[in-house]
Amino acid sequence: MVSRDDDALSWDGDDDPTLAPQVAPRRAASAPQERADVTPATRLDAETEAVPASASTDAEAAPMSNVALVTLGVFGGIYLLLAVGWFIGGSRLQFVAQLFINPAAHIAAWILAIVAPAVWFATTMVLTRSRPMWLRIVALVVGAVVLLPWPFLMTGVGA
């Protein structure tokens, strides 16, 4: 006799058809019902309106792979760190920048530098929505290199 602990390790009953995952059948597009008051031109207009809607939902419904989602998450973290780097680097240069430019100009440039990584990330995600994933990754890598926080890298993290 098999003990209750050994039941978890056995595969008995897996061939039971009631345990098989049920896949919902695809619904075929129903043909328009023939009516006496519908002219062929009206029927053609109804068919042409329905085709683009279904085609656009099929193109947008393609899910991303797990690797792509993790990669985008990593790049999201990198861009967040870039924004933090611009915040710290810009705050350290505030005294030196006041010697050369108007403090209001420094604050405006500092805010734009902090927001730039988020804008690049969002713009890349929107503009490469229908493009291949490798193009999105290339755009994110280029942005990460272009937006390096040079003031932070040059001054370091020392007090």
Q: Which amino acid is at 49?
A: E
Distances in Å between the alpha carbon of 68 and those of 29, 76, 126, 134, 136?
32, 12, 15, 9, 10
Joined tokens for residue 97:
């920048």
Question: What is the domain extent for residue 101?
Answer: 67-155
- Residue 135 falls within a domain, yes or no? yes
**Quick one: pLDDT at residue 141?**
95
Indicate the pLDDT class of residue 16, thresholds 50, 70 and 90: low
Q: Which amino acid is at 45?
A: D
Per-residue pLDDT reduced to its tens digit, 95-137: 788 788 888 888 898 899 999 999 999 999 999 998 999 999 9
Number of folded domains that form the chain: 1
Joined tokens for residue 119:
């804008």
- Residue 11 falls within a domain, yes or no? no
In the block, tokens 């870039």 appear at 82
Indicate the pLDDT class of residue 78, thresholds 50, 70 and 90: very high
Which of 60, 49, 54, 56 lies closest to 26 in space, CA to CA?
54
- Residue 5 falls within a domain, yes or no? no
- Residue 109 falls within a domain, yes or no? yes
Is the full-model pTM beyond 0.85? no
| CA 96/CA 108 separation, integer angstroms | 16
Share of the chain above pLDDT 70, in %: 58
Comparison of pLDDT for 118 and 27, the residue scoring more? 118
Which of 119, 47, 128, 48 lies closest to 83 in space, CA to CA?
119
- Residue 86 falls within a domain, yes or no? yes
- Residue 122 falls within a domain, yes or no? yes
- Residue 7 falls within a domain, yes or no? no
| CA 155/CA 159 separation, integer angstroms | 10
- Residue 23 falls within a domain, yes or no? no
Comparison of pLDDT for 80 and 27, the residue scoring more? 80
Q: Report whether 29 contacts 54 (CB < 8 A).
A: yes
